[in-house]
Structure 1
Amino acid sequence: MAVFVLDRQKHPLMPCTEKRARLLLERGRAVVVRLAPFTIRLKDRVGETRQPLRLKLDPGSRVTGLALVRESATRDPEPGAVERLEHGLWFGELEHRGQAIREALEQRRHCRRARRARKTRYREPRFLNRTRRDGWLPPSLQHRIGTTVNWVERLQRLAPITALSQELVRFDTQAMQNPEISGVEYQQGELAGYEVREYLLEKWNRTCAYCGATHVPLEIEHIVPRAKGGSDRVSNLTLACRPCNEHKGNRLIEAFLKGRPVLLKQIQAQAQAPLQDAAAVNATRWALLNALKTTGLAVETGSGGRTKFNRTRLGIPKTHALDAACVGAVDQLRDWNRPVLAIRATGRGAYRRTRTFNNGFPRAYLMRHKRVNGFQTGDWVRAEVPKGKKAGVHVGRVAIRRTGSFNVQTPGGTVAGISHRYCRLLQRADGYGYTIHTKPVTEDARRAA
């Protein structure tokens, strides 16, 4: 993983390798600024030659992939052709907490409604006196935009980024490399088939519509066969395994599912319905695009079908970070097998100082001050315990107590009852938790975990 470098005046320089950063620290020419993402500051240099850096984003409903790549041009064997070569420098996966925000708002709403029904202090419901501004988004969706833009601005302060790339829409059947073609050729460009197939995989949950088989090769199936007048529109397409596809043949779906009316009705309804939560995801991505334009950098957009096309052509496994590296126009991608920094949004605590039961009555009271002996919950600390059952070095996030006996959450588990005298601050809490994955975590492995 590349190390971010700042000059003596805290201006971003080109990232360097871990070996070079280690030598600079050993020789006393640099100091550590941050641990995650790891950043150093030079003591004896101001400014240097910079190269084109592009930050790529793959927005998702739960995890957003981040990839910082260095661009360079290489000559293609064809005369006059130039390919865009990209070198992976840094990869990250930003996990949002939109679901937690949604659940907290639901709990608050239930408490307010219950208070109106009980014989306690009455809270009058508000109707017809609230308006929403143009472009309003629910807090759970606005959080995804805010955290993503926050990390774009952070990386801008750590690296001289010159351009951005964002996966704007998941499926774009009109996106072809040659925009001047028309008619039948419009759907026969280099990306033909990838957009429609990816759309169907998401819409039908990667399962056979007839038998429900998963983790098997799926084929595109016409609900109304073309021999019976069916079209190639996505509303007439579904996914089926090879045995079901061959068994159905050219028969109408009503005849094929004659003895299964419930499944027939379900397939017909799902075929006409749009992709689930597509409106919310698309609204978030358009709002994110408008927010990225305010950074003043050139923003390149691409579709999910093109991302999958690039990843399949280059033989790269599917992860959120590597999907981000494949966004947009990519001819060659090198140095992609690097560690990934997993960033989990944890929040900065709660305003309320009382914890309640499900019925709303208090069960515990929290401290009014968030710091004890200079430490705050979420700080990254190094605890060196000299003796006792907990003797050793423990590095992780700390959970403070009023007594001064803290809990340190390490990768191997939580170590409870460590005195604040043995703790040394490494990095202040910034609302995020960090973990480094040395190997790419694929989607199948993530689901299994």
Structure 2
Amino acid sequence: MQVFVLDKKKKPLVPCHPARARELLREGRAVVHRIAPFTIRLKDRIGGETQPIRVKLDPGSKTTGLAVVREEETDGEKTAHVLFQAEIHHRGSAIKKRLDQRRAFRRRRRSQLRYRTPRFDNRTRPDGWLPPSLRHRVDTTLAWVERLRRLVPVSELSQELVRFDMQKIENPEISGAEYQQGTLAGYEVREYLLEKWGRTCAYCGASDMPLEIDHIHPRSLGGSDRVSNLTLACRSCNLKKGNRPVGEFLAKTPERLSTILARAKAPLKDAAAVNTTRWALFQALKATGLPVETASGGRTKYNRTRLGIPKGHSLDAACVGKVDRIEGWNRPCLSVKVTGRGSYQRTRLDSFGFPRGFLTRTKAHFGFQTGDRVMAIVTNGKKPEPVPDGWP
């Protein structure tokens, strides 16, 4: 990855090559400002010319892809040079699990010890309110955008806004068969099915192979093209099934049959989470004052497939929006795992939700707290392990 550069007054400059950064550090002209993402600060330069840099986002329910690119346009073609890639792994599911557990404990205590009239309907929620598990995704993504703005001269932002259709935006008059058979035909539905069925064959569970879209109830027998009637199948299973109903094809495996029928009707939970937070993130990005470009998931996959780029959250982010060519995409990717700020509980709870022990008021112990980066130096040979001061 490129190395972020700050001037003497901590103003962001254009990132440089790692070899150039090593040379500046060796000559004593720069110092290390930040470890992750790696940033240096010059000691003999104030200000300078910068180039327009764009931050691209591919929001997801579990992982959000992020890419910093430098764009240049020659002969009407837009080329994106990837400078930095990162994947933010959210903890929304952990937050929801904690809240559900806390809610269950509270209700049990109130119903077991004494009765109190329910008051959960008395509270009013402000406009734009999101559950903590979803608000966490927006806040974490926005925090990284602000962090990059302090390290890179960001001039524009791009976000994958799932329901936007760039083909319709570019040509509002398009309709009918011309619209259905456009360049993005099939990309939206296929990407949805890949996420819903886990990129595996619904009939045999095979993965890491080309998958085909199959009608659960065949079209020859009156089946529709609705997403609830579509699934993914490998080539061999698709040929074996043919135009038979799925009940006849899986007559010997009723458990798999019931699983497929139930999963086909259920919506994609990840898509619901993304659809809930996409507008909140879009409004937060607009509040930064930078121009925000939006694109659909079909446009992202179309760019990735056309350019021969493999699947990846950060690579999807680099393919967001209008782009004709991408260079430098095969760079290392920074993996960011969100750990939270530790526990704020004052007590431990038993299996019935009652306190069984008190916690300390301080969150830092022996000089460490949640979120600290710790490096272990493991030596060779039989040597006694060093014991930190304060340990028994």
The TM-score range, normalised by the shorter chain, is 0.7 to 0.9
Counterpart contact for 1:71–1:85, Cα < 8 Å = yes
Deviation at 1:158, TM superposition (A): 0.8
Q: Which residue does the alignment assign to 1:400?
A: none
What SS is found at the alignment partner of 2:98? helix
Deviation at 1:85, TM superposition (A): 0.5
Deviations 1:165-186 (A, max 9, x none): 1111178596576444322111
Deviation at 1:352, TM superposition (A): 2.8
Structure 1 or 2: larger strand share?
1
Structure 1 or 2: larger helix share?
2
Deviation at 1:152, TM superposition (A): 0.5
Q: Which residue does the alignment assign to 2:77?
A: 83
Structure 2, unmatched stretches of 5+, are: none
Q: Distance in 2 between matches of 1:350 and 1:298?
A: 38
Counterpart contact for 1:52–1:71, Cα < 8 Å = yes
- Name which structure has the greater RCO, CA cutoff 8 Å, separation 6+: 2
Q: Distance in 1 between matches of 2:352 and 2:105?
A: 8
What SS is found at the alignment partner of 1:380? coil
Amino acid at match of 2:32: V
What SS is found at the alignment partner of 1:162? strand
Q: Distance in 1 between matches of 2:363 and 2:215?
A: 61
Deviations 1:395-440 (A, max 9, x none): xxxxxxxxxxxxxxxxxxxxxx32389xxxxxxxxxxxxxxxxxxx
Q: Does 1:60 align with 2:55?
A: no
Deviations 1:15-57 (A, max 9, x none): 1122222222222222222111112222221211111111111
Q: Which residue does the alignment assign to 2:69?
A: 69
When residues 248 and 353 of structure 1 are mapped into structure 2, their CA distance, relative to the original with a 3 A threshold, is closer
Q: Which residue does the alignment assign to 1:242?
A: 235
Q: Which residue does the alignment assign to 1:39?
A: 39
Aligned mate of 1:342, from 335, 343, 347: 335
When residues 157 and 312 of structure 1 are mapped into structure 2, their CA distance, relative to the original with a 3 A threshold, is same
Q: TM-score, normalised by structure 1?
A: 0.76
Q: Which residue does the alignment assign to 2:389?
A: 419
Q: Does 1:140 align with 2:133?
A: yes
Q: Does 1:390 align with 2:370?
A: no
When residues 43 and 264 of structure 1 are mapped into structure 2, their CA distance, relative to the original with a 3 A threshold, is closer
Counterpart contact for 1:164–1:297, Cα < 8 Å = yes
Amino acid at match of 1:359: F
Q: Which residue does the alignment assign to 1:302?
A: 295
Deviations 1:222-263 (A, max 9, x none): 455555565544454433333443344445667767788887
Counterpart contact for 2:164–2:294, Cα < 8 Å = no
Aligned mate of 1:182, from 152, 167, 175: 175
Q: Which residue does the alignment assign to 1:201?
A: 194
Q: Does 1:97 align with 2:97?
A: no
Deviations 1:62-93 (A, max 9, x none): 11111101111132xxxxxx111011111111
Q: Which residue does the alignment assign to 1:321?
A: 314
Q: Which residue does the alignment assign to 1:4?
A: 4
Counterpart contact for 1:3–1:38, Cα < 8 Å = yes
When residues 159 and 219 of structure 1 are mapped into structure 2, their CA distance, relative to the original with a 3 A threshold, is same
What SS is found at the alignment partner of 1:115? helix
Q: Distance in 2 between matches of 1:363 and 1:23?
A: 57
Q: Does 1:110 align with 2:80?
A: no
Q: Which residue does the alignment assign to 2:50?
A: 50
Q: Distance in 2 between matches of 1:373 and 1:253?
A: 61
How many residues matched?
A: 389
Counterpart contact for 1:171–1:199, Cα < 8 Å = no
Counterpart contact for 2:55–2:67, Cα < 8 Å = yes
Q: Percent identity?
A: 65
Q: Which stretch has the larger CA shift, 97-106 or 230-239? A: 230-239
Q: Which residue does the alignment assign to 2:17?
A: 17
When residues 252 and 382 of structure 1 are mapped into structure 2, their CA distance, relative to the original with a 3 A threshold, is closer
Q: Distance in 1 between matches of 2:346 and 2:46?
A: 47
When residues 344 and 238 of structure 1 are mapped into structure 2, their CA distance, relative to the original with a 3 A threshold, is closer
When residues 173 and 349 of structure 1 are mapped into structure 2, their CA distance, relative to the original with a 3 A threshold, is same
When residues 242 and 369 of structure 1 are mapped into structure 2, their CA distance, relative to the original with a 3 A threshold, is closer
Deviations 1:180-204 (A, max 9, x none): 4322111222222222222222334
Counterpart contact for 2:166–2:296, Cα < 8 Å = no
Q: Distance in 1 between matches of 2:46 and 2:327?
A: 30
Structure 1, unmatched stretches of 5+, are: 76-81, 392-416, 422-449
Amino acid at match of 2:182: G
Counterpart contact for 1:171–1:198, Cα < 8 Å = no
When residues 248 and 367 of structure 1 are mapped into structure 2, their CA distance, relative to the original with a 3 A threshold, is closer
Q: Distance in 1 between matches of 2:269 and 2:363?
A: 41
Q: Distance in 1 between matches of 2:273 and 2:175?
A: 31
Q: Distance in 2 between matches of 1:236 and 1:329?
A: 32
Deviation at 1:215, TM superposition (A): 4.1
When residues 128 and 223 of structure 1 are mapped into structure 2, their CA distance, relative to the original with a 3 A threshold, is closer
Q: Which residue does the alignment assign to 2:278?
A: 285
Deviation at 1:269, TM superposition (A): 6.1
Amino acid at match of 1:70: R
Q: Does 1:150 align with 2:146?
A: no
Q: Distance in 1 between matches of 2:256 and 2:368?
A: 58
Q: Distance in 2 between matches of 1:60 and 1:380?
A: 26
Amino acid at match of 1:12: P
When residues 12 and 250 of structure 1 are mapped into structure 2, their CA distance, relative to the original with a 3 A threshold, is same
Q: TM-score, normalised by structure 2?
A: 0.86
Counterpart contact for 1:116–1:124, Cα < 8 Å = no
Q: Distance in 2 between matches of 1:257 and 1:95?
A: 37
Q: Distance in 1 between matches of 2:104 and 2:257?
A: 39
